[in-house]
Amino acid sequence: MNTASAPEATGAESLRTSETLKALYGYVRPHRWAVVLGLLLALAGAAGGLLQPLATKALVDRLSSGGTIGTILLAMTVLVLLSMVAEAFGAYVLERTAESVVLAARRSLIGRLLRLRLAEVDRMQPGDLMSRVTSDTTLLRAVSTQAVVSAATGAVTLVAAVVVMAFLDAVLLGVTLGVVAVVGVGAVLVMPKIGQAAERAQAAVGEMSTGLERVFGAFRTVKASGAEERETARVEAAARRAWRHGVRSAKWEAVLGSADNLAVELAFLAVLAVGGARVASGDMPVSTLIAFLLYLFYLMEPVYQLVEAASHYQEGAAAIARIAQVDGLATEPQDRHRSVQPAVTKAVRPRPASVRFEEVSFRYGPRLPDIHQRVDFEVPGGGMTAFVGPSGAGKSTVFALVERFYEATGGRVLVDGKDVTKWPLSELRSVIGYVEQDAPVLAGTLRENLVFAAPGATDDEIREVLARTRLDALVERLPHGLDTPVGHRGTKLSGGERQRVAIARALLRRPRLLLLDEATSQLDAVNELALRDAIAETARETTVLVVAHRLSTVTDADRIVVMDAGTVRAVGTHEELVAEDELYAQLAATQLLTSAGRPRD
Ligand SMILES: Nc1ncnc2c1ncn2[C@@H]1O[C@H](COP(=O)(O)OP(=O)(O)OP(=O)(O)O)[C@@H](O)[C@H]1O
């Protein structure tokens, strides 16, 4: 198991250039023909531009010899129009491809994020993970297509222009290349600075999302604690960091961007001086100098394209590294036959599942303490088993191991006598109904929440479960009944209602094993009684494991497992344990089990 060690990770390791290029190729590969088409169209456009100076030279020569220029002018107009059309269509093809690359990267990231192991999610920040899907993928747009095509067209047209210039005048070409080389060395030195700034800016965007996610995850607490200003300052600080690094990147890009102008301007002056002297001395016709100078300005475009490709590459490399980091996170094994839905109809009574822990040891990370030490117990199919013990004893962790959210570091967890690691994961989870301690409710309607774990549930089944969990009265009160939106995290429901929705959701799945992590907050007496009845009824046809925080729950249980500091201390009925186990007797005497930690001796 790839368990987490670092408490959190937000930064991304830079990749080697070869790794970045390999990843880039991976993104471009499925769209290579579209990129090639875009490239051909860009080259066609560039070729039109390349022929312009030659046409100009022919025009000047024709004028000097007193000939007519109508045909040449017409040819030049057609050339301009054709190259414009080619460039526009090429640009569209590339933009479309770029969007497809972004979509593919987002789809792969989204699919991966939802399959991440819990240990990985524990150490990452959800906000930062989200920014990788939303913001970093956007940077792929430029690097995956424009940069590739700019680099290719830039290089091809540069070489073509240089060949034609060599053909026109080798001395002037030497002067030009000398100047361009000097400026080019400076530009190469600047490039890594853009990459570095872009990477830091993207990391800061990730921190910003993390800060916002933190605030909205506990919005009422933030307000009640009067922490709005502090939290605003925190998110703003990340926004300012993103700005600072963004500006730094822009500064170096501006330096790089002006370098190509500078190179061409300097080369222009040098060529004008040397070429002017050669024309004056009669070594070169003036039309050659004009054509050469036009090529020199034509050179601006490919040089600009190469510089642009380099900038995009630097930015894109930063994003690719951050995306690659998610690709490196451990995911849960994917079953060959996915989405096993419980699809248990009322006619088929689900067979209760048995659970066994065999000498199970577990810790949440290699450098974290043991949470379970040789935990050993057996629960036969059916009935209710309660887990009690002081806070932090490892009770909820039992459920996490049964659901295989984490894997035991020693021993075996068996469901129906079969090691959970041998179960196809989706099949294992399809057998289980799970109610978390904080009873999460998702944004959406009440109906969506209820059928979340059993999308095929019928209206009759929903009605029956609503009655069992005493939610029917609530549904009648709601303006749109089951189709009323419940708000972000179910904020429009009361705590007790959220708890009952979570239980109803698990019951609708008609599980063979119900894991109920009882909330420490009290339900009102009427609803508590109703829920006890509902769970007792469920326990007649399903195995129910409940982490119990209320004495009333344990007195109903067929068996009670007392846990303390990661070990099973005793197993028995309420009466047996009150008589035989000192810790249990103390816990039972406090009525409210475990919520305040282990009672003092
Ligand atoms: N994801 C996690 N990463 C690291 N440590 C964790 C994680 N989840 C729980 N722990 C630690 O494991 C220990 C056992 O937690 P667990 O939730 O199983 O306790 P519990 O007995 O259910 O407690 P409570 O009655 O308070 O709910 C605790 O000390 C907790 O801090």
Out of 375, 397, 401, 583, give the residue to mutate to test ligand 1, the one with the largest number of ligand atoms within 8 Å of its CB: 397
Checking if the pLDDT of 524 tops 50, the result is: yes
Model pLDDT for residues 67-107, shown as the tens digit of each residue: 778 888 888 888 888 888 888 888 888 888 888 988 988 99
User: What local confidence, expressed as pLDDT, does residue 348 receive?
Assistant: 57
Classify residue 74 as exposed, middle or buried by CB count within 10 Å of its CB (0-12, 13-18, 19+). Answer: exposed
User: What local confidence, expressed as pLDDT, does residue 411 receive?
Assistant: 94
For helices 170-217 and 286-327, the axis angle rounded to 10 degrees is 30
Range with lowest mean pLDDT among 110-119, 141-150, 399-408, 498-507: 141-150
Mean pLDDT across 214-226: 85
Give distance in angstroms: CA of 344 to centre of ligand 1: 33
Ligand 1, residue 597: give the atom nearest the CA. 26
Q: Which one, of 260, 298, 217, 398, lies nearest residue 54 by Cα? A: 298
Model pLDDT for residues 290-301, shown as the tens digit of each residue: 888 888 887 777
Checking if the pLDDT of 562 tops 70, the result is: yes
- Residue 390 Cβ inside 6 Å of ligand 1? The answer reads no
User: What local confidence, expressed as pLDDT, does residue 10 receive?
Assistant: 46
User: What local confidence, expressed as pLDDT, does residue 265 receive?
Assistant: 83
Model pLDDT for residues 320-351, shown as the tens digit of each residue: 888 888 888 889 887 765 555 544 445 556 78
Tokens of 535: 């769970």
Ligand 1, residue 393: give the atom nearest the CA. 21
Give distance in angstroms: CA of 395 to centre of ligand 1: 8
- Residue 396 Cβ inside 6 Å of ligand 1? The answer reads yes
Q: What angle do CA 383, 389, 393 make, to 5 degrees?
A: 115
Backbone angles phi, psi at 102, to 5 degrees: -60, -45
Backbone angles phi, psi at 473, to 5 degrees: -65, -40
Mean pLDDT across 440-452: 89
Longest alpha-carbon distance in the chain: 122
The answer to whether 331 touches 112, Cβ cutoff 8 Å, is yes
Strand 513-517 versus strand 543-547 pairing type: parallel
170: number of Cβ within 10 Å: 9
The answer to whether 402 touches 379, Cβ cutoff 8 Å, is no
Please, where in the chain does CATH 1.20.1560.10 lie?
Answer: 18-327
Q: What angle do CA 147, 148, 154 make, to 5 degrees?
A: 80
Mean pLDDT across 372-391: 92
Alpha-carbon span 404 to 428, nearest angstrom: 9
Which is more confident, 299 or 365?
A: 365
Percentage of the chain exceeding pLDDT 90 = 23
Checking if the pLDDT of 277 tops 60, the result is: yes
Query: Is residue 558 helix, strand or coil?
Result: coil
User: What local confidence, expressed as pLDDT, does residue 5 receive?
Assistant: 38
Instruction: Indicate the pLDDT class of residue 24, thresholds 50, 70 and 90.
Output: confident
Ligand 1, residue 118: give the atom nearest the CA. 1
Tokens of 277: 């002297």
Checking if the pLDDT of 426 tops 70, the result is: yes
User: What local confidence, expressed as pLDDT, does residue 600 receive?
Assistant: 39
User: What local confidence, expressed as pLDDT, does residue 387 receive?
Assistant: 94
User: What local confidence, expressed as pLDDT, does residue 183 receive?
Assistant: 79
Instruction: Indicate the pLDDT class of residue 591, thresholds 50, 70 and 90.
Output: low
Sequence-distant (≥ 6) Cβ neighbours of residue 47 within 8 angstroms? 83, 160
Buried b (16+ CB within 10 A) or exposed e, 275-306: beebbeeeebeebbbbbbbbbbebbbbbbbbb
Checking if the pLDDT of 9 tops 60, the result is: no
Instruction: Indicate the pLDDT class of residue 8, thresholds 50, 70 and 90.
Output: very low
Classify residue 52 as exposed, middle or buried by CB count within 10 Å of its CB (0-12, 13-18, 19+). Answer: middle
Tokens of 142: 């430029």
Assigned CATH topology for domain 18-327: ABC transporter transmembrane region fold (1.20.1560)
- Residue 395 Cβ inside 6 Å of ligand 1? The answer reads yes
Helix (H) or strand (E) holding 378: strand 370-379
Q: What angle do CA 428, 432, 437 make, to 5 degrees?
A: 125
> Hey, whose CA ends up nearest to atom 6 of ligand 1?
364
Tokens of 5: 């060690």
The answer to whether 410 touches 359, Cβ cutoff 8 Å, is yes
Assigned CATH topology for domain 373-589: Rossmann fold (3.40.50)
Please, where in the chain does CATH 3.40.50.300 lie?
Answer: 373-589
The answer to whether 340 touches 124, Cβ cutoff 8 Å, is no
- Residue 394 Cβ inside 6 Å of ligand 1? The answer reads yes
Which is more confident, 210 or 592?
A: 210
Q: Which one, of 558, 579, 554, lies nearest residue 389 by Cα? A: 554
- Residue 436 Cβ inside 6 Å of ligand 1? The answer reads no
Tokens of 304: 């600009």
Give distance in angstroms: CA of 396 to centre of ligand 1: 7
Out of 387, 395, 521, give the residue to mutate to test ligand 1, the one with the largest number of ligand atoms within 8 Å of its CB: 395
Helix (H) or strand (E) holding 279: helix 228-280
Alpha-carbon span 142 to 335, nearest angstrom: 36
Mean pLDDT (the chain) is: 84
> Hey, whose CA ends up nearest to atom 5 of ligand 1?
364
The answer to whether 500 touches 471, Cβ cutoff 8 Å, is yes
User: What local confidence, expressed as pLDDT, does residue 402 receive?
Assistant: 96
User: What local confidence, expressed as pLDDT, does residue 12 receive?
Assistant: 53
- Residue 27 Cβ inside 6 Å of ligand 1? The answer reads no
DSSP per-residue string spanning 33-52: HHHHHHHHHHHHHHHHHHHH
Alpha-carbon span 566 to 390, nearest angstrom: 10
Percentage of the chain exceeding pLDDT 70 = 92
Residue type, 137: T
User: What local confidence, expressed as pLDDT, does residue 568 receive?
Assistant: 94
- Residue 232 Cβ inside 6 Å of ligand 1? The answer reads no
Tokens of 72: 């040449």
Q: Which one, of 560, 522, 529, 521, lies nearest residue 544 by Cα? A: 560
User: What local confidence, expressed as pLDDT, does residue 45 receive?
Assistant: 79
Instruction: Indicate the pLDDT class of residue 601, thresholds 50, 70 and 90.
Output: very low
- Residue 371 Cβ inside 6 Å of ligand 1? The answer reads yes
ipTM: 0.97
